[in-house]
Copies of this chain bind each other. A is one copy, B any other.
Amino acid sequence: MTQSIATHPDRLLPADPATRTIARELVEVAETLPLLSPHGHVPAEAIARNDAFPDPAALLISPDHYVYRLLNADGVNLEEVNAGTSDAADPRDVWRAFCKRWELFDGTASGYWLRRELVTVFGIDDATIDGAHADELYDRISDVLARPAFRPRQLFRDFGLEVLATTDDPLDDLSAHRQLAEDQDFAGKVLPTFRPDAYVKFWNPSFATNADRLVQEAGDGLSGYRGYLRGMENRRRHFVGNGAVSADHGVWRPEAVRLDDAEAAELFEKGISGTATEAEALRFEANMTYQFARMSADDGLTMTIHPGSYRDHSTHTVERFGPDTGNDIPFAVDFTRGLQPLLSDFGNSDDFNLVLFTLDETTFSREIAPLAGFYRAVYAGAPWWFLDEPDAMHRFRAATTGTLGFSRSSGFIDDTRAFCSIPARHDAARRVDAGFLARLVVEHRITEERARTAMVELTDTNPRKVFNL
């Protein structure tokens, strides 16, 4: 077994020898720091129950739309990988389908994470990932998964995780989070995140049901839009009481408007009765983006927005397999004009943090850096989703640092439900940042000493500041 690229000490570092030498030292600095994961999708219940992970396919393939989207593109039907609502395939067949097509992932972000996870967490020789070895690998991973030490809480410690934020429904009782917080034997912090999307978008099939429940359960007896706003405020308070540090908003586009209460209430009723137009639905969403900023400035939950994804782009796929099945596709967005009312009112508040994520990298230099370089509430969100691969992460730094320096970015966000991939993801992000900083040193744009403190800022100081960790 030769040196795997998954464990090569110079992986992801720039080719130039002088730059690489400095980057290596910066990686060493980063490796002393704990993992902070202030936004992701690992369910708290899994950690609370500390269940063993399921089989290799159910752990690594079927829940990961990053992975099976490329399989689908290569001709594997989603039912063959138990994607979305499908679950009839033999997990071993799912695994085989993946191993046979392992080469599809070469050069991709998912490929990097998977390879490193398989090698360092499961002890696999990555030269053997192929159709011929699929069964052998399946058995080997299954063995590891069955080990008592291979449970979420132990891995949480082994990974060096300090904080892991989950993403939660506003009406979640957060009992799993409480159980973990009260557990004397578990030192990790598992923090809930308030995510009200399904209570805001009229086009969500369960909007009316959700909003009704919110008003009933948390509206303090008020009705309609007033009860709805009150319900949001109350549930946010509940989240804050259970350790939440942020509220996340997967908005259609980055737009905020301040509607007067009467118009907002009227739109709300149309949303409940299913009679709103698309324009009205978007206008209500923009109103709520403004309202959530107001609430964040009040209750201190850092506001994160993730705009510009056309969710469930393939109608036929969604009809068969449900939502979130690999066909969310980005489109161009406009933060500058869309968020002007919100930023003008709250952007310079000392009590408000707003993290702007984007799938449209044209906004890095054009909008996000200029906004985060003036408004004290605004931070440049780490490259997200299709942009969390090495070259795009380098482009993010190259596009924003000249305007922002090192103090105005959010820190890396793994945004994953694949718990075992978290170390690999942070490892990649830190290495890219190390390479970027090393380049600045070699180009005499910063000193080597400054690069070391910047490495800590980007990795540790900033996320603690931005998310009040």
A interface residue numbers (CB < 8 A to B): 5, 8, 10-19, 69-70, 72-75, 103-109, 111-112, 310, 313-317, 326-332, 334, 336-337, 340, 343-345, 347-348, 350, 359-362, 365-367, 369-376, 378, 386-387, 389-392, 395, 398-399, 401-408, 439-440, 442-447, 450, 453-454
Contacts and interface: CB of A to CB of B under 8 A. Distances in A.
A344 B313 contact: yes
Given A112-B445, A334-B332, A344-B315, A73 B392 contact: no
A307 B454 CA distance: 34
Given A374-B73, A443-B11, A446-B5, A366 B330 contact: yes
Given A16-B15, A366-B359, A367-B329, A402 B373 contact: no
Contacts of A361: 362, 365-366
A438 to B, nearest CB: 9
B332 A316 contact: no
A171 B373 CA distance: 35
A69 B445 contact: no
B313 A69 contact: no
Contact of A340 (B18, B310, B395, B398): B310
B13 A16 contact: no
A406 B107 contact: yes
Nearest to A428: B445
Contacts of A70: 373, 404-405, 408
Nearest to A76: B376
Contacts of A365: 361, 386-387, 392
A101 to B, nearest CB: 9
B107 A402 contact: yes
A344 B370 contact: no
A435 B361 CA distance: 24
17 contacts: A5-B445, A10-B443, A72-B374, A74-B376, A103-B407, A104-B405, A106-B406, A106-B454, A107-B446, A108-B404, A313-B343, A313-B344, A314-B347, A314-B374, A329-B336, A330-B336, A391-B402
Contacts of A369: 386
B348 A316 contact: yes
Contacts of A328: 370
Nearest to A406: B107
A443 B310 contact: no
Query: Which 8 pairs of residues, A with B, have the shortest CB-CB distance?
Result: A389-B402, A11-B444, A331-B336, A315-B344, A8-B444, A15-B442, A15-B16, A5-B444
Contacts of A74: 376, 407
Scoring A334, A337, A348, A362 by chain B CB atoms within 10 A of each residue's CB, the highest score goes to: A348
A357 B390 CA distance: 24
A161 to B, nearest CB: 25
Nearest to A105: B405
A247 B334 CA distance: 30
Contact of A371 (B19, B104, B107, B329): B329
A65 to B, nearest CB: 9
Contacts of A350: 75
Nearest to A401: B107
Contacts of A343: 313-314
A109 B403 contact: yes
Contact of A330 (B314, B370, B454): B370
Contacts of A445: 5, 11-12, 107, 112, 390
Nearest to A3: B444
A399 B391 CA distance: 7
Contact of A329 (B310, B329, B345, B370): B370
Contact of A104 (B5, B11, B390, B407): B407
A243 B372 CA distance: 40
Given A103-B406, A331-B334, A386-B403, 4 more contacts: A15-B439, A316-B345, A316-B348, A332-B332
Contacts of A12: 443-445
A404 B103 CA distance: 11
B310 A336 contact: yes
A326 to B, nearest CB: 5
Contacts of A371: 329
A466 to B, nearest CB: 12
